[in-house]
Amino acid sequence: MTLINVNQMSPVPWKFSAAWLGKHFDCGTETGFKRCVGACCKSPKYWPVNVQPQADGGCFHLTDTGCQLLMENRPITCLLFPLKFVAKPPFKTGIGWMTESVKIILYGRACIISSTCGINYKKGPTLVSSLAPQLIILLGSENYLTLLEQTLMGIDTIIYPQKHIHTKLVDEIRKIGGNRL
């Protein structure tokens, strides 16, 4: 396991699994979107949580060509889908809302071939590659390259994200109720 430190880091580590990130899963790419047509964002039944849900349950920002939000404005849960965060419910401290630890795993339904996500499972690049733009936004280029290298070697990586990124995640966890992330 490799430990990556980031300036102004959060006190809470994020653990990235090499086993999950090393899976071939064409999500987050244009090719993958053409297969699944964003089904995860079209219905409240699926993950991730919609940014602005509409009456039909779909996200306001989803169009026929994908999400219209700039990458850096998307919620963390959307940026990393089909990965999801598992965290203990946040609790209030003297310095704000905190959670003890965050594990990043593959969303359970993603590997079921008959599911909406399953159409992209075992296709395309590895997740660590297909999610590169999102991971670079969250971790920075240098840390992404370390994560990529470690994942390709089968080594789990712990990252202490920048405080503002972790705070954004904790806010998302709080809004949807703890471990549902």
Per-residue pLDDT of the chain (181 residues; tens, 9 = 90+): 444 444 455 667 788 889 989 988 777 666 667 777 677 777 666 655 555 667 766 777 877 777 888 888 888 878 888 887 776 655 555 555 555 667 777 777 777 777 777 777 788 889 899 889 989 998 889 889 999 999 999 999 888 888 888 788 777 766 665 444 4
Q: Is 135 exposed, middle or buried (0-12, 13-18, 19+ CB in 10 A)?
A: buried
Helix H or strand E segment including 32: helix 30-36
How far is Cα 17 from Cα 29, in angstroms, rounded to an integer? 21
β-strand partners of 126? 24
User: Closest by alpha carbon to 108, among 90, 81, 130?
Assistant: 81
How far is Cα 104 from Cα 33, in angstroms, rounded to an integer? 22
User: Closest by alpha carbon to 166, among 8, 3, 2, 4?
Assistant: 8
Q: Can you give the pTM of this predicted structure?
A: 0.77
Q: Amino acid letter at 47?
A: W
Report residue 181 as tokens: 């992330």
